[in-house]
Amino acid sequence: MAVAERDDTRVLAVVMHTAFFVLLFASAARYLARHADRPHTPWVIALTALLAGLYALGPALGVRPTPRRLTWLGLVVAAWALLVVLAPSFAWCAVPLFYTGLRTLPPRAAVPLVAVLTALAVAAQLRLAGWADPNVLLAPPAVAAVATTVFVVMQRQAARQDALIADLVRTRRDLAATERREGTLAERERLAREIHDTLAQGLSSQRMLLQAADRLWETAPGTARDHVRTAAATAERGLAEARRFVHDLTPADLAGGDGLHRALHAVAERETTPALTVRVHTEGSPPRPLPAPVESALLRIAQGALANVREHAAATTATLTLTCLDDQILLDVTDDGRGFDPRTPAASAAGAGERGHGLPAIRARLRQLGGTLTVESAPGEGTALSAAIPWQPR
């Protein structure tokens, strides 16, 4: 846009400069053809040459009102005024001079200059006509008014356009910065969910197993060693998850390509302990293969929900139910634990886990896929969590 404006301004300047020289030399030719024998003809020729030379220097001085540019403009106007006094036909050069003055000076100074040039041109033409010709009296001011108004309006429109473009560029820059910030926050949220659903849960299980092993080390060394071996296996799975997490791959339980059903069974087997039994049920079959993001999200939701059950529910039984409907796929996680009141913020936070990432992480995963989460619970009556994802997630 700015380049196009500069090109248009350059074309207009070339046209106005060309028009000035054409009018100047046409006026000189007209004067010589009719008044070559007059005494002041040499002065007219000399002033014509001087004015042509001065005007030709204009482009080299730029357009800003610097002292050199203002001095040049004053000399051009003075030379032209002398020519008009000696030969009124040179008044036609006033129109290009309007443009030069308007382009060099601010409007509050350019408009009076245009008025002076117009008055001088009208006086010269009236002297040449010899009587108060209405056409001579009114036409030059009308032309000057139109030219000045058009130029000033165009300048203001250009200034508004420049301001609008600058504002647009600034807005785009701010929008890009906002998108970068939102992207950073979204990535942080994703990292928090992944760490909560994988590494944090694994470390929590290892801590519980190692604490149990420490308590039983003297009285039941065999059981203690079993706990240690289970903790080591949990650490190995956590390491595999961490490696896949770093490379942004699918969860380890889905890496074998056996599908979500087998992955849920693998999670249930790992989460089953002497104190907690985890079962898996599947109802219906998917009409089409599940997208990888949906499988990963449902598996992570199952892991997060079972971590809450293990750490906070004091349940003896938990059930994972995967239901495939015509328009959506459902994952229900139910337990027979102590339950909580979902309407109470404190109870909800407890149900979400001490770290406060359980239910929020599940909701965030579902929100990304256009899904919904429903939680039903009451103190002493267990908890039922239902995650639904449409077949065509966003």
Q: Which of 54-68, 170-184, 216-230, 375-389 has the highest mean pLDDT?
A: 375-389
Q: What are phi and psi of 335, to 5 degrees?
A: -145, 165
DSSP string, 199-215: IIHHHHHHHHHHHHHHH
Return the number of other C-beta atoms located less than 10 Å from residue 46's C-beta.
Answer: 13
Token pair belonging to 215: 């308590």
User: Which CATH number, 3.10.129.10, 3.60.40.10, 3.30.565.10, 3.40.50.1000, labels domain 258-394?
Assistant: 3.30.565.10
- State pLDDT tens for residues 10-65: 787 788 888 888 888 888 888 888 877 788 888 888 988 998 888 888 888 877 88
DSSP secondary structure code for residue 289 in this structure: P
What global pTM score does this model have?
A: 0.44
- State pLDDT tens for residues 214-265: 888 888 888 888 888 888 887 877 777 776 665 555 666 776 666 888 889 9
> Closest Cα to residue 105, out of 138, 76, 146?
76
The residue ranges of every structural domain in the chain are 2-132, 258-394
> Closest Cα to residue 363, out of 387, 333, 334?
387
Which residue type is seen at 7? Answer: D
Which residue type is seen at 255? Answer: A
Alpha-carbon distance 354 to 338, whole Å?
16
Q: What is the mean pLDDT of the chain?
A: 81
**Does residue 122 sit in helix, strand or coil?**
helix
| Alpha helices in 196-335, H assignment, sequence order | 201-216, 221-246, 259-271, 292-308
